[in-house]
Amino acid sequence: MIASNNILSRDAAGLDETCLAVELKQALQATIFTSGLRIAPRRVQQISQEFAAAFRQFLEEQHAETAYAYGQRLSQEGIGHGAMLALVDVLHHVCWESADPTSVQYGNPLLAGYMAGREAELLREQERTRLALERARA
């Protein structure tokens, strides 16, 4: 699955964003149905490119808050757990080959943001359910 030869060197200038997007697209296509059909197949390419661009931006700026916010956005877009883990796994493989710890530095706040986004969505859904139940009882 992952043929990440020379996708990442030690800096953002060395990131082959196009190759990374291809790897991410393959991972997303393989796990798209873990997203509960909330992600349209036509969005796979765009999400892969956005993910690669967000990672490049992190390489340049090293802002964990940006990764956290992007994780929340992916959650809001409907990325499923399996798809999210597959995307982070691609980053780990790419960075592993370059002996670069950036995937962990990026992946941790990204996943934390994703989990916070999922939690917020679950709470909103629970509140909608509670209100519907109250209306049904009235």
* Residues 72/114, Cβ–Cβ less than 8 Å: yes
pTM of the entire predicted model: 0.81
pLDDT band of 35, cuts 50, 70, 90: low
> Is pLDDT above 80 for 69?
yes
Q: How far apart are CA 10 and CA 102, in angstroms?
A: 9
DSSP-H helix ranges across 2-43:
17-31
Q: Where are the domains of the chain?
A: 12-137
> Is pLDDT above 90 for 127?
yes
Q: How far apart are CA 31 and CA 85, in angstroms?
A: 9
